Amino acid sequence: MNRNKSAGSDWIRSLVKQLDLVERDPITDLSRFRALLEECQLPERIREIVGAVNKEVGYQALYLLDFLPPQRSILRLSFLKKKTEYILEIVLRTSGPAVVFHSATSAPGAWERYLHGYSRSSGSHIAFNQNFIPAEITDETIKVWFSYLLSGFDKQFDPGKCLHPTNILDFGSLPKKASA
């Protein structure tokens, strides 16, 4: 079995060298930030809420994409509304984890009706981004993030402002993780 593992890594190593895929500048090790996110169970808490929202609306309104190490993205939520994709992304920066809200609008093309699934992006913009400390992310913070995303980045739900609890969309009680 060890022979198979070493043989497998040999062909990968030679292919990576042959195709010149080796990173010239080493990427900063961000694994400590990923560990902090996992420790406070932020990705899991977000996944549970995505499931609860999709169940409540009766269809897959939110799409969730998880990323594996060493990628800088942790997860991406997307929500499509009127040809605009609204995205909440948890990313790792050298300064720590951050939440980034951005959107991409697709422009209709002359041939688009004939090409199922084809879309041209006509514009995108970052609506909000902020570094955070994972241990300080409360259920209330997550509610604000989801409210902002599902509102299509409506300014009244802007996470950068002090929101009144009445301005936050009501998701009921957040799913609780069963403790061991």
Please check whether residue 15 lies inside any domain of the structure. Answer: no
Range of the domain at 41: 31-167
Please check whether residue 4 lies inside any domain of the structure. Answer: no
Please check whether residue 25 lies inside any domain of the structure. Answer: no
Please give the tally of structural domains in the chain.
1
Which among 87-96, 119-128, 165-174 has the top mean pLDDT?
A: 87-96
Please check whether residue 22 lies inside any domain of the structure. Answer: no
Please check whether residue 72 lies inside any domain of the structure. Answer: yes
Check residue 172 and give its pLDDT: 52
Written in H, E and C, the secondary structure of the chain is CHHHHHHHHHHHHHHHHHCCCCCCCCCCCCHHHHHHHHHCCHHHHHHHHHHHHHHHHCCCCEEEEECCCCCCEEEEEEEEECCEEEEEEEEEECCEEEEEEEEEEEECCCCHHHCCCCCEEEEEEEEEEEECCHHHCCHHHHHHHHHHHHCCCCHHHCCCCCCCHHHCCCCCCCCCCCCC
- Provide the whole-model pTM: 0.73
Please check whether residue 55 lies inside any domain of the structure. Answer: yes
